[in-house]
Structure 1
């Protein structure tokens, strides 16, 4: 049995969620959490906590939005604040991981898979979360649990 990890793509109005499979090999998109106001995070955090419990997640990988020149901007500051909230609320380690180009790659994957435009919007965030998590997992193999 491997640790299960969660990947998050934190956006201004949505959070894409992905989890690793039970073998720690692949990341799968789970859902997109949508909020009415970008600043109201209580329900978003509660849903993430429920998914952590459901999937028995032990670590979170949160996409860090870097600029193409590797600098950090306002979205990165908001993501860092969200990370602190997550760590406080869940007690889990939250790793920041470069998410550059994941939304563009998600769009490309969905288009090449024949997903119609109206359905891509609802899937793109959890697909980006899966790409963030998969990238991290490829660089950091999940340890076996005894």
Structure 2
């Protein structure tokens, strides 16, 4: 049975984390560098059936040397978990049966809002361009906050 990582998932240098921002229609992806300092937007997958999504993720994991997944957990602002958290936990449970990688669930509160604000206020991107970028940028925001946390944890 799937059990999310309790503490920080530490990878040896040379391996990568893949961050996921799971939406109902898309999955935003971000990839860490091999030194675990920088998260970069990778791509946005249009959601299909779980088997097709999982096959594409397996291809990316193999191609990019990914050794751990970081899934954004959409906790409510009051700290409770709703249906979206349940869906994320179910996705993690199902993907763990196909890929024996450590999976960390990371509180993603405010990530999409922060990315939207940055794209509107600072980058002045059009609505169409924001829609195209928001998921992979949110995944990058989630993964970067996780990398910053792991880097600050005692070994």
Q: Does residue 144 of structure 2 align to residue 134 of structure 1?
A: yes
User: Where in structure 2 are the equivalents of 1:56-95 lying within 5 Å?
Assistant: 56-95=65-104
Structure 2 counterpart of 1:7, from 7, 19, 36: 19
Kindly report structure 1 stretches of 4+ aligned residues shifted beyond 3 Å: none
1:16–1:128 Cα contact (<8 Å) kept:
yes
Normalising by structure 1, what TM-score? 0.90
User: Where in structure 2 are the equivalents of 1:106-125 lying within 5 Å?
Assistant: 106-111=115-120, 112-125=122-135
Aligned-pair Cα RMSD in Å = 1.4
1:86–1:94 Cα contact (<8 Å) kept:
no
User: Which residue does 1:20 correspond to in 2?
Assistant: 32
Deviations 1:4-61 (A, max 9, x none): 101000111111000101221100011111125xxx2111111111111111000000
Normalising by structure 2, what TM-score? 0.85
Unpaired runs of 5+ residues, structure 1, are none
Unpaired runs of 5+ residues, structure 2, are 1-12
1:88 Cα shift? Answer: 1.0
